[in-house]
Chain A
């Protein structure tokens, strides 16, 4: 999380200062800012995610600016809201690239909207770093697309392993969204691992984006007789699913994913989400020094504890700034090469090293809901 070595961070500053001394008119302060684009769901269905990730990103940019900027230039974050809507991110990303001339792009927390932006950034040779797009195909869209979160095969596997080994579940139903790339992928990887571990996937039911009634699917699940339900989706649906499941008398454990981690899950779901398990990227309760330090600074800036998305938003910006420093330029192709060479970068969510597919290798944590709060259960390594 901190710059790897002070001298490395200061080296560009020294060069700039040296230049500034030889050319008195060209002051470092008056430098053109480095413009970084960000698209996020600041409003709409996934607003709480977009906003927390955005807060993490702002914190990273503010800290870098307070430390004198990067390459002696201040940083400017240009943020566009995609309203959590399909189609909107393509529009705002095009605007950020063509009109605002950003040098790199940060976003999005969902796979679907990152997939929309990926080909646009790839064609414009603008590096894209997603804080939270976990669907595997995101980074296959081109070599300019990176992410700082783990990918779905890993997350689906973690939950399947947790269900089979820790909770000792035998018969599980899956309720996934047909319209979310992430949900479909997670269901698939959960099924593969869970059945390989000897469990039975009794039933797979689907719902659509924006659905509010899940009683029909849950009634079918109840009739099938299961001892757990895996719901790879977002909190808005998950909270209603939990409520309606409890209404129908289904008391089996509910298993979720990173999309569940939001205070709204508890405020909508109430008692129904108590005891549910979910896998995610990060827990502020983790006692590792990097997490404690980040959480402290985050709390000082925003007044609340950090969560997985704020930490990922923070890391996405830090990884980019580190690459700009190493590249010594904001030129797209050079920046891409520097990003791809990121190795053992200490982020808030763990150490980040990009593999050949530009995905980081990281660990996951399992949380449970207890008394309306997310409580750390265990961390799972790849």
Chain B
């Protein structure tokens, strides 16, 4: 029983990070209908910003940790907007495939310029938040896991409020529904799209810092696997759907952890992705996605 609870906790903290990254994929998809493959590398840049800022704040303090988190989020929000302005905006209106290929290009650019600027050797992420381990019987809860789950939940709630309770959120949903009509009623598409990228990138940065906090070894290619998993989580939950991304992330993290802890750990990715295929066979639009009929 304890083992089950321990694995559940491990799975949830891993899943919370997948969920944070998945939210960025899903938001951009929801508004622009394309997959921003550079997202997982913004995640990497986020943890590197955290790494550099982390060396300038006192270690093991709550406010130091929050400063690191905020600076990384602000830095990546800016980076996300710059990427959108320079790489994607000139292609607006072009075929989705062109934008997709540009996204892959931006992703590779970030990964390999990361190797030039940060170096390819793994770095040790400083322990910015105070960390202790709580024990409940034989159940061990590390404070980092609690921080991850708490910050991820908080950010998801904030995101939900922004999208459904604010003016810019309404504009985002309007652009998502029909960009031309939104423009006709006076929505500034450029601002909305820029904001969407900024918000998504800030979430990726938060994911990057939290990931590095839990697994304190960071390198320029660290975003590739979590990025892929988060993309899968977004598809699993129904791409374009915010609660779906959160659900998909948590589900994928938990399944992966349980398979990893079993005797079939060799096949963990195979099993996790097989479950994805099965779910998509029965619900092609994802768990919470609405199936839409393509009009021709």
Contact = CB atoms under 8 A, between A and B. Distances in A.
Interface of A: 43-45, 47-48, 83-84, 178, 205-208, 210-213, 215-217, 219-220, 222-223, 236, 239-240, 243, 247-249, 264, 267-268
Given A205-B265, A248-B140, A267 B124 contact: yes
Contacts of B219: 44-45
B51 to A, nearest CB: 13
19 contacts: A43-B119, A43-B120, A47-B121, A84-B120, A206-B265, A208-B269, A212-B214, A212-B222, A215-B6, A216-B257, A216-B260, A216-B265, A217-B260, A219-B6, A240-B217, A264-B124, A267-B124, A268-B124, A268-B216
A43 B258 CA distance: 33
Given A206-B266, A213-B14, A216-B260, A243 B216 contact: yes
A247 B140 contact: yes
A268 B217 contact: yes
A186 to B, nearest CB: 16
Contacts of A222: 3, 6
Interface string B223-239: 01100000000000000
Contacts of A43: 115, 119-121
B169 to A, nearest CB: 33
A220 B268 CA distance: 14
B261 interface: yes
Given A223-B2, A264-B121, 18 more contacts: A44-B120, A208-B269, A211-B225, A212-B211, A212-B214, A213-B257, A215-B257, A216-B10, A216-B11, A219-B3, A220-B262, A239-B217, A240-B215, A240-B217, A249-B133, A249-B140, A264-B124, A268-B124
Contacts of A243: 216
Contact of B122 (A206, A223, A249, A268): A268
B262 to A, nearest CB: 7
Interface of B: 2-3, 6-7, 10-11, 14, 115, 119-122, 124, 133, 135, 138, 140, 142, 211, 214-217, 219, 221-222, 224-225, 256-262, 265-266, 268-269
A204 to B, nearest CB: 8
Contacts of B211: 212
Nearest to A215: B10
A211 B2 CA distance: 24
B10 A213 contact: yes
A238 to B, nearest CB: 11
A247 to B, nearest CB: 5
